[in-house]
Amino acid sequence: MEEYLSNIELMNSSEHQMEWPEKIISLSKDLFVSDFPLSPPGSFANEYEVNPSLPFAQIENIREDFEVASTLFKKSKAYRWLIKQIIENKSDRDLGFGQVIRLLHDALTDDPAPYRKEVKDLQENFYSYLKLYANDELEIYVPGRKSEVLRLREKIWN
C-alpha cells in the first residue's frame, strides 16, 4: 500500500487516483441500494453529504468534468451489473424496464430488502444517468408506447 501511495503523487491523470487496486482493497461483489443513484443527475441526495464515498456522490462531485464523471459512472458497480445482465440475457427480446426491476430487486442484498417502489425509484434515477453518461455504449428505446428497453450499441460490444 505504501508503494501505491507513493506512486500516486507521480501520476498526472486524476483517473488513476479514483480507485484502489483490488489487491489492496477488494470490493464487495454484493449489490446494495447505495451502489445506485439515490437521486437524479444534478440533484444531491442528503446521503451523499453524509457519505461522500458513495459512488454516485463521487460522480455528482465531479460532474463538471463530463469525461471523468462518465468514466466513473461506467466503472460503477451498478453499471457493470447492468451490462452483465444485458450480455447474459438469453431471451430473444432486449431487457425492458420491468425485467430490469425484477433482476435488480433479486440482486440487491440489503437487509431488509427494499420495497419494489424504492427499487423502481432507483432504476428511474439510474436510467437518467444511463442517458447522460452511457448513450455511447447503450441504447434506450421505446418500441411501443411505454416501457423503455435496453440494448448494447453493436460497435462498442462486438
Chain segment 13-66, per-residue pLDDT in tens:
444 445 556 666 556 789 999 999 999 999 989 999 999 999 999 999 999 999
Q: Is residue 109 part of a domain?
A: yes
Q: Is residue 15 part of a domain?
A: no
> Cis peptide before 40, with omega less than 30 degrees from 0?
no
**Residue 155 confidence (pLDDT):** 55
Q: Is residue 108 part of a domain?
A: yes
Task: Say what the pTM is.
Answer: 0.80
pLDDT above 70 for 67: yes
**pLDDT tens digits, residue range 88-112?**
998 888 999 999 999 999 999 999 9
Q: Residue 109, Cβ neighbours under 10 Å: how many?
A: 13
Domain of 145: which CATH number? 1.10.10
pLDDT above 50 for 140: yes
Q: Is residue 127 part of a domain?
A: yes
Q: Is residue 70 part of a domain?
A: yes
18 versus 154: which is more confidently predicted?
154
pLDDT above 60 for 9: no
Distances (CA, A) of 13 to 8, 60, 82, 99: 9, 19, 27, 38
Q: Is residue 105 part of a domain?
A: yes
Print the domain residue range for 79.
29-157
Q: What percent of the chain has pLDDT over 90?
A: 70
Q: Residue 119, Cβ neighbours under 10 Å: how many?
A: 21
Taking residues 111-138, report their average pLDDT. 96
> Which amino acid, 85?
Q
Q: Is residue 4 part of a domain?
A: no
Q: Is residue 2 part of a domain?
A: no
Domain count, the chain: 1
**Residue 79 confidence (pLDDT):** 98
